[in-house]
Amino acid sequence: MRDELLDNMVVTLHSRGWSLREIARELRISRGRVRRIMNRNRHQRETGRDCQKEKRQKASLLDSYKEYITGLLDQYKDPPITNQRILELIREKGYQGGKTILSEYLATIRGKKTGEPIVCVETAPGQRGSHDWSEYYIGFSDVNQKEKVIFFSFILNYSRRQYIEVVDDKTQATLLKCLVNTFTYFDGVPCQVKSDNQKPCVDRWELGRAVFNKKYLEFASHYHFTPLTITPGKPRENLKIERPFYYLEKSFLSGRSFYNLDDLKRQLAHWLENINDRHVHRTTRQTPFDLYRQEYPYLQPLPKKQYDTALSEYRIVNNESCVEWQGYFYVVPKAYMHQTCQVREDNGQVIIYDSTRGEITRYPVAEKGSAQRYIGRTPREQSESYLRIKEIISRLESMGPVMEEYIAQVKMYKSNSVRHHLSRILQLKVNYQKEDILMAVSRALKYKVYESSSIENFLHVNAEKINEITLFQKNSSYDKD
């Protein structure tokens, strides 16, 4: 490290006529150092630049492989060969060096990649809004654990006023409901609505253009806005909605505790109105609510009737006089068997209509994970179904202790499909001997395979059907397997 005070003393003493030997003896440094200081000072006075010492080129472990590396770069251009693959290839030829010097050398050849500058596009009042999702794991004190919470956010790009809602999923039905709530909250619709390439909005890209979802386009036409989306792989095109999530994390989610999800929603509504709307934005230097007052006259008016966001599909009533919806069976009167009915799910209700659009019946939506698959079945029908299952278990238990153990394991590990597996096992008695079935079940218990299909496949391969030649000569040995 240079000592500027020492340099000054050497230069001034030499200018007064002191010799190099005298200066060195006075300052207790070597004459060589005095000479270097004087030469550096002379070069700076003559050229105006510091005297740079030329770096001596040292031999590199890569020198003998540079020509080979150049050939690899020329050979593999599209897609370009990676640094890791080049390292593997030159090590096969005897390279003993590390990866760092190779990466530094390749950077000088390929050139350093520079990121694209961020350009924040400002839009006119009422011109554009943007929406997106964000997930967070939030702790709730009532259950004393963290749960995943999904936030939907919509922002008016001019005023930066924001609407945020907690949702259960990211389906199209949820998105459309959120957008309806958003437009109601703002009491108007922007001319353009921008999103990322999420499935509820964009089906695919063709010839450099987005192909929007049919229902999403129908929704956009209802509210008279033009749907927009970002270019794939360029999330910075929608920074107006990405950045506010950071403010949500910093201001709302930080330093707050929530009892449950309902408590979070209440605090979120208060935060939106009293904090988010009132804080001074860093870019606009105004509050979002003040700018919203200026933007409001430019928003498009809401239609007289909101868009129907309910899920609606047509189903055929099956032989059990039931309509299947989201994995559950909803009972309808037997007069509608084999007819096509419209099923709508809205506000927690499943509503079934006939062909004339008359309502047949309605039920609350079945809870997720419910063991009861039939909704609307009478208690008498349910008890009869329960008795049939008891009868299946009773017949199987009469086959011996091995079957009793199998039933217990199926109840433990296949609790959602006990009836299915046990009835399939009972049906095997039509085609196979009791001893063969018990041998297959014994093997299933040994290897902890409780699916009825596995037992059936084992019998199909290793056992003979009734009235055919018996494959097993000593079936009584099943318990020894």
Residues for the chain: how many in total?
481
**How many distinct helices (H) and strands (E) make up the chain?**
16, 14
d(CA 265, CA 258): 9
Per residue in 153-171, pLDDT (tens digit) is: 999 989 999 999 999 889 8
Contact 463, 432 (CB under 8 A): yes
Is 323 in contact with 317 (CB distance < 8 Å)?
yes
- Contact status, residue 428 vs residue 406, Cβ threshold 8 Å: no
Give the model confidence (pLDDT) of 64-117 as tens digits.
888 899 888 888 887 888 988 899 999 998 888 888 988 888 888 887 666 666
- DSSP E strands in 319-463: the ranges are 322-325, 328-331, 340-346, 349-353, 359-364, 374-375
pLDDT of 217: 92
pLDDT in tens, 426-465: 888 888 888 889 999 999 898 888 888 888 888 888 888 8
Determine contact, residues 435/468, Cβ cutoff 8 Å. Answer: no
| Predicted local distance difference test score (pLDDT) of residue 30 | 93
Check if the beta carbon of residue 95 is closer than 8 Å to that of residue 61: yes
Report the SS3 class of residue 162. Answer: strand
Instruction: Collect the ranges in the chain with pLDDT lower than 50.
Output: 385, 387, 469-481
Question: Which residues, other chains included, contact 27 with Cβ-Cβ below 8 Å and sequence gap of 6+?
Answer: 6, 9, 10, 34
Which residue type occupies 341? Answer: C
**Residues 343, 366 contacting (CB under 8 angstroms):** no
What does the pLDDT read at residue 1? 66
Q: What integer pLDDT is reported at residue 270 of this predicted model?
A: 92
Given this model, what pLDDT does residue 116 score? 67
d(CA 436, CA 440): 6
Count other Cβ atoms within 10 Å, centred on residue 224.
12
User: Phi and psi (nearest 5°) for 196?
Assistant: -85, -170
- Determine the pLDDT at residue 142: 87
Residue 226: per-residue pLDDT:
92
pLDDT computed for residue 237 by the predictor: 67
What pLDDT was estimated at residue 178? Answer: 93
